[in-house]
Structure 1
């Protein structure tokens, strides 16, 4: 059985991976930015770590039915592993990304990113996959290695915690609109 799908060898594999990384990199970065609570540097490191892991097994990954789901799973798991290793209680200060959507209050976006950053890594991952990446409960469960019921429970609890964290800030921000 041929493993490299073509005659390009390692140069062909590298070119194919680079094309994939260039195409999907911006989307992976946006997801990583949300996972890291708006920390640009951590998000860049996270994407780099995930892509390095994917490249190491690109021969197997490139033939997968859903490469994007696999890569997203690697990204989320790398984030969770990174959070486990991090020993300090440091919390990044979120800043809104350049080019915010029209009609979006920048102060509300900052408050939301800061609240999201205060959630535990797994809860943040569930919310990002479910509501940013628009993944189903089943897809999110598969990406994170959880049961669908666990994803639903974490979603509800994390959303309740976000509401609690935003609390008075949300009311004062929307009152000024």
Structure 2
């Protein structure tokens, strides 16, 4: 039995080692903060480890892990929202986002990340999974636990908001014209 556990642990360790960078990038795009992304991936992998026998037997273990990651992100977002709603009006200091320094907005990637962080969670999930992870609409639907139509709708709305946010950022950063 010990050998089976050791083999399973080694399989999981190899899985995590090869997938870690991509999972962290995906989590970063979902939440917008490096340390939070790493925590999010770790929490998701704890859940995956507990169910590793089922995960490795699945047709697409990566899809399973992405689903757990998206669910963990949604769970955390709901928790934060609940905490925010229970705060008194004058007690929101921890929830204020500092104004971004215009110098950091010079890089297009930073502008995109900033615009992405402004999207509602479901739209951000649809855009990240569809266009960053390059998943099909049906794969995104499975990861998000919704219909393909919802994925199309959320992705379209998210892209429209991204375009508008990037156009505003481009004009306010002094570039003059919208790209």
Which interval holds the TM-score relative to the shorter structure?
0.7 to 0.9
Query: Does 1:23 pair with 2:34?
Result: no
Task: Tell me the distance in 1 between the aligned counterparts of 2:64 and 2:99.
Answer: 29
Deviations 1:94-147 (A, max 9, x none): 9xxxxxxxxxx9622111101111111111110000000001111111111111
Query: Does 1:168 pair with 2:168?
Result: yes
Provide the aligned C-alpha RMSD in A: 2.6
Task: Tell me the distance in 2 between the aligned counterparts of 1:168 and 1:22.
Answer: 39
Task: Tell me the distance in 2 between the aligned counterparts of 1:92 and 1:68.
Answer: 35
Task: Tell me the distance in 2 between the aligned counterparts of 1:92 and 1:76.
Answer: 26
- Residue 41 (structure 1) aligned to one of 22, 35, 40: 35
TM, length-normalised to structure 1: 0.82
TM, length-normalised to structure 2: 0.81
Shift of the 176–70 alpha-carbon distance from structure 1 to 2, 3 Å rule, reads closer
Q: What is the CA distance between 1:175 and its match in structure 2? A: 5.1
Q: Alignment partner of 2:57: what SS?
A: coil
Q: How many residue pairs align between the two structures?
A: 162
Contact persistence 1:91–1:117 (CA under 8 A):
no
Task: Extract unaligned runs of 5+ from structure 1.
Answer: 95-104
Task: Extract unaligned runs of 5+ from structure 2.
Answer: 85-94
Task: Tell me the distance in 2 between the aligned counterparts of 1:34 and 1:48.
Answer: 16
Structure richer in helix, relative to its length: 2
Contact persistence 1:115–1:165 (CA under 8 A):
yes
